């Protein structure tokens, strides 16, 4: 398993940077989506269903 992480030299810095960037993009995308949903819910309040 140590060879998967680059052996005794440690992980490749570019691979670590790539993983950090991907995680940051995912978190920003998730937070931005939640924020947009929240703002849209405030702008268009849920109306009761009319028959």
Phi (first) and psi of residue 10, to 5 degrees: 95, 180
Report pLDDT for 3.
55
Report pLDDT for 21.
96
The 3 state secondary structure assigned to the chain is CCCCCCHHHCCCHHHHHHHHHHHHHHHHHHHHHHHHHHHHHHHCCCCCCCC
For every one of its 51 residues, what pLDDT tens digit does the chain have, with 9 covering 90 and above?
A: 555 555 566 778 899 999 999 999 999 999 999 888 888 888 776 666 666
* CA 48, chain centre distance (Å): 33
| pTM assigned to the model | 0.54
- Reading the block at residue 37, the tokens are 């949903």
Alpha-carbon gap, residue 51 to 41, rounded angstroms: 23
């Amino acid at each position: 398993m140590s060879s998967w992480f680059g052996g005794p030299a440690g992980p490749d810095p570019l691979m670590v940077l790539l993983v950090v960037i991907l995680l940051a993009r995912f978190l920003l995308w998730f937070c931005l989506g939640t924020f947009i949903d929240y703002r849209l819910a405030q702008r268009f309040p849920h109306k009761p269903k009319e028959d």
